[in-house]
Structure 1
Amino acid sequence: MRILVVEDERRLARAIGHGLEDHGFAVELAHDGDTGLWLAREQEFDAIVLDLMLPGLPGYEVCKRLRAEGCWTPILILTARDSDDAEARGLDLGADDFLRKPFSYQVLIARLNALLRRGAPARPAKLLVDDLELDPARRTVRRGTASIELTRREFSLLEYLMRNIGQTRSKAEILDHVWGADFDREPNVVEVYVGYLRRKIDQPFGTDTIQTIRGHGYLVGSDG
């Protein structure tokens, strides 16, 4: 079994690596989020041990990007934070389990073995609004029999709106979920990208999937 350990504290990373190797695992180490993300994209791993507080990309963002790209390798998050909010956020972004520092190697091994027995999580179901279909696993969008090419950001925006069908989402909510809480550009970027989406998924087909709810935000489907 191959494990990717993404941990910026080098002594701890080496210790985790040696401990896992002593239990028969093959281990690859990364000490920042960018390297961890690259390795997870380029190589096959059976599980990922991911610290949250990383230089470069934080662990939250690494997890979010991997799941958005269709990587369903089990992820065990490590954090020094004693916070239910941190745990909930990590799990919401697609992590499979959570382990607070300090921890014993016995518990780490037990958690990893449990994840490996469980296997990769099931791929998410396709999302449908009328004849518009979005497949989160394959990262594809279709309108009827027509394939629609979207950029990564356009896809994430459409997926967020389709997952919240019938619910109006504000620009602030969209920015937080699609661009990330640390995004510092003007909220009008949401309006720009909604325009991009409409030109691809609606205008060529004479449809009106994304509605503007003035003063509130955007809506896919009916609000009842």
Structure 2
Amino acid sequence: MSSEDVIRVVIIEDDEIIRNGYAFLIGKEPGFHVVNKYASFDEAAKKISADEPEVILLDIELPGTNGIEALPKLKKIVPDAFVLILTVYDSEKLIFDALASGASGYLTKNSSSFKIVESIREVKEGGGPMSINIARMVIKSFQRNPDSPLSKRETQVLELVGNGKNRSQIARELFIDLETVRSHIKNIYMKLDVNSRADALKTARKNKLI
């Protein structure tokens, strides 16, 4: 396996036992390399650029700068890295704050090691993995607005986006081609006057469109 095939992972978690446990579980999997691990964002901020992570596992409750506050800062320091939240918290507000601030996925700490490893792989491929309970909460929190500007198909696409599906998965699930999915997403962004998945979800939630 070439170094290009290995996913570079950084862990930011204040609990030393959990931090080392994640590092061990992920590090022993072929195709993964835990480049570094930190007890806080403030510690990570000084060195993470040199780590060149592809995926960052981020806890929310951290000493100093918390995970939600750290998200936009991480996106500036390492803009190409995907951030996967891994936390004990599953409140609706935190989930949407995290997604709106740039998180690519959201897992709770009761997730199996298999789920965590698969989620790192999925997020690297452009997916938006979530724990089942989180995905249910995301969907349940949306109640349809009958005056929605979105078509039925656009609503379906946006619901699947909110469920953490990437474009290829949406195409497969709705039996449409990838170009059609891209077209629907473009129309959704235009109708909602947004430029990103996070903003589309935030606007849809606020206006009860899905």
Q: TM-score range by the shorter chain?
A: 0.5 to 0.7
Q: Which residue of 2 aligns with 1:23?
A: 29
Q: Quote how far apart the aligned CAs of 1:2 are.
A: 1.3
8 Å contact kept, 1:37–1:62 = no
Q: TM-score, normalised by structure 1?
A: 0.50
Question: Does the alignment pair 1:65 with 2:65?
Answer: no
Structure 2, unmatched stretches of 5+, are 1-6, 128-210
SS in 2 for 1:64: helix
Q: Quote how far apart the aligned CAs of 1:34 are.
A: 0.6
SS in 2 for 1:118: coil
Once the two structures are superposed, the pairs formed by residues 122-133 of structure 1 within 5 Å of their partners are: none
Question: Does the alignment pair 1:75 with 2:83?
Answer: yes
Deviations for 1:113-149, whole angstroms, at most 9, x for unmatched residues?
1011228xxxxxxxxxxxxxxxxxxxxxxxxxxxxxx
Q: Percent identity?
A: 24
The structure carrying a bigger strand percent of its residues is 1
Q: Quote how far apart the aligned CAs of 1:68 are.
A: 4.0
The structure carrying a bigger helix percent of its residues is 2
| Alpha-carbon distance in 2 for matches of 1:39, 1:88 | 28
Q: Which residue of 2 aligns with 1:8?
A: 14
| Alpha-carbon distance in 2 for matches of 1:15, 1:92 | 29
Which letter does structure 2 place at the counterpart of 1:47? V
Count how many residue pairs are aligned between Structure 1 and Structure 2.
121
Q: Which residue of 2 aligns with 1:179?
A: none
Larger Rg: 1
Q: Quote how far apart the aligned CAs of 1:71 are.
A: 1.4
- Aligned-residue CA RMSD (Å): 2.1
Q: Which residue of 2 aligns with 1:51?
A: 59
Q: Quote how far apart the aligned CAs of 1:70 are.
A: 6.4
Question: Does the alignment pair 1:92 with 2:81?
Answer: no
Once the two structures are superposed, the pairs formed by residues 129-148 of structure 1 within 5 Å of their partners are: none
Q: Which residue of 2 aligns with 1:101?
A: 109
Q: TM-score, normalised by structure 2?
A: 0.53
8 Å contact kept, 2:23–2:37 = yes
Q: Quote how far apart the aligned CAs of 1:69 are.
A: 4.9
8 Å contact kept, 2:49–2:77 = no
